[in-house]
Structure 1
Amino acid sequence: MSDQEVQDLYDAIKQVSQQTRVDHRFILAAAMQETRGCVRAKTSISPDGTVQNPGILQSFRGNHSCNDDGKVQNPCPKAQILGMIQDGVAGTADGGHGYALDLNAQATLDGVEYAQAYYRAARLYNSGEIDSSGDLGSGSATHCYASDIANRLTGWTDAPSACTLD
């Protein structure tokens, strides 16, 4: 990534954080977890092949990307970077719930502490559900997702994940 793209990513995270009230550190940790913060990340496809998840946050049916069907934009425009962060955090018009909605839903549950709401929201963003046991490492999708985000928030950066649930 260019220095300008890094600055644009930083600016987008700060802007969307202020708009949605989702902590900017959490947004950065999620971006690093999803794509290592790559502005030209390839679009992921759902296991059944029906849903495209583009951009830095691999947002559900997102509308912004700098790597559409192999057409890579270099440099990645500031508006696209902002759009990728907005799609993942604020949600998409096509039903992508975004971290903010998941976080707000979890924060209002009885017995859920503020910090817990973030990790539960991460799990929901990744898989769309929390296992009935309440264990964030159980159920469908990436079992280490919430754990890895928690570790990123406590300083883990370069080492491979120590999580062995997947």
Structure 2
Amino acid sequence: MFANIAIIVTGLAAVGSALPATSSATKRGIADKYTFYQGDGSSAAGWPSQDAWGTWDELWDANVPLMQKSCVWNGWVGDDSDSEIQDIANAIKSTAKSTGVDERFILAIMMQESKGCVRVPTTNNGVTNPGLMQSHNGAGSCFGINPCPSSTISLMINDGVAGTSEGPGLEKLLSQAEGKVGNKGSQAYYATSRLYNSGSADYTNLDNGLGSTACYASDVANRLTGWTLATSTCH
């Protein structure tokens, strides 16, 4: 979240050609490519509208191969099992329904924070950031635990979306962003990603990391249109 773990992606590109392509992704037009988006997150500034986002099924199918390997790729113990991955999907869908936050956005933030590894380590740079969403002093973590219980997977997702007693999650930050940018569409979601990463936002320039990850909002926008392994062009 505010103090993000550095996700190691060495070796991911090498297996990119082995990832399955789906006919639905081709039809929809999502693609594993990266566009460096700049500015305020609006469609006028060139950022993708929600209409350009992949469907849930397309984005889920594109990211499952990463979730299957991300723990070991990053040097953590124990890749996600099929049942753990299914529990992630169930938790995202349930939390999206209860909070009103788009399930695709939750997926994109989760992949940005942890690559979907249920055993992701907890970071601490003044605030502990545990679990799949690297939430703000959250209670959910399966670091060192295998298998990860479905109840803990649900807690990790809920901590990041609904928030914790110590800090806001995506739901509250989205409401804040909607008020700042004056709409409830994709621009508000991109501003939310900046708030989630940095704790505050320069709403005119979402690439201003304010001490955190400069490319975070651009990364999330690309994840929502199918980016997984292609080389980032953000700088």
Q: Cα distance, 1:21 vs. partner?
A: 0.5
Number of equivalent positions? 155
Q: 1:8 aligned to 2:100? A: no
User: For residue 102 of structure 2, what is the aligned residue in structure 1?
Assistant: 23
Whichever residue aligns with residue 180 of structure 2, its letter is: L
Instruction: Give TM-score, length-normalised by structure 1.
Output: 0.89
Q: Give distance in 2, aligned partners of 1:8 and 1:110.
A: 34
One-letter code aligned to 1:158:
L
The reply to whether residue 65 of structure 1 matches residue 141 of structure 2 is yes
Q: How does 1:1-150 map to 2 (within 5 A)?
A: 1-46=80-125, 50-67=126-143, 72-94=144-166, 96-109=167-180, 111-112=182-183, 114-131=185-202, 134-138=204-208, 139-150=210-221
Mapped to 1, the partners of 2:191 and 2:118 lie a distance apart of: 25
Partner letter of residue 36 of structure 1?
A: K
> Unmatched 5+ residue regions in structure 1?
none
Change (3 A) 1:51 1:74: same
- Take 1:146 and 1:83, find their aligned partners in 2: how far apart are those partners? 24
CA distance in structure 2 between the partners assigned to 1:127 and 1:108 by the alignment: 18
SS at match of 2:180: coil
Question: How far apart are the structure 2 equivalents of 1:111 and 1:16?
Answer: 25
Gaps of 5+ in 2: 1-79
| Structure 1 residue 162, shift from structure 2 partner | 2.1
Structure 2 distance, partners of 1:160, 1:73, is 32
Quick one: distance in 2 between partners of 1:15 and 1:113?
Answer: 21
Structure exhibiting the larger radius of gyration computed from Cα positions? 2
Q: Give the alignment's Cα RMSD to 1 decimal.
A: 1.3
Q: Secondary structure at the match of 1:55?
A: coil
AA partner of residue 146 (structure 1): A
Provide runs of 4+ in structure 1 moved above 3 Å: 109-113
Q: Larger relative CO (CA 8 A, sep 6+): 1 or 2?
A: 2
Percent identity of paired positions between Structure 1 and Structure 2: 51
**1:104-150 deviation digits (Å, cap 9, x = unpaired):** 1111335345111000000000010112x620111220000010000
